[in-house]
Amino acid sequence: MGLTTSTFKQAAVYGSAAALGRLGGFIMLPIYAHAFGTTGYGVIGMINLGLEFVLSLLGRGLNAAMLRVYHEEDGLRKNTVITTGVTLVAGGSFGLAALGSACSVPLSQVLLGDGSSYPLFCLAFAALFLEPPGGATSSVLEIRQQSSLFAVVNVVRLVISLSLKRLT
């Protein structure tokens, strides 16, 4: 298989996984709006925005750094980069998720004026625990050029993400 053909095949697989994720979120939008009403959906939107901010600081930066350092290293040190990167991402995610879950009632009271929304924060912190390690796994699959498995992992991540949002 030529370089051009391989490039287009990889791009099609990666692109279809990303498009499927966006399509799933778009399809679920009216379902969430109906199930939670305008106020509940607004609360979930605010929590998700905060979560996306934290994820952009935590997981995505570390995944990009892992890719860069991996390609700078040679030989056996490449595996060390992967192990260290995944461990850092998973450890940081677990720490933040545990701390956030422990503080979910006060967060709900301070941010929403009502402590009864703490389960929404707990579910958001569960997503915070799951999302960055999933991104690190995706980075490893990108490094190893396993585009089909990358697409499968991202579809599983999508299903988990939509499920957590549905449970809230």
User: What are the per-10-residue average pLDDT scores of the chain (168 residues)?
Assistant: 70 71 72 74 79 71 77 81 81 86 89 82 79 73 73 74 57
Distance CA 134, CA 33 (A): 27
Whole-model pTM: value is 0.63
Is residue 74 classed as helix, strand or coil in its secondary structure? coil
Q: Are 58 and 88 in contact (CB under 8 A)?
A: no
* The predicted structure's pLDDT at residue 162: 66
* The predicted structure's pLDDT at residue 3: 65
Q: Are 24 and 162 in contact (CB under 8 A)?
A: yes
3-class DSSP string for 118-130: HHHHHHHHHHHHH
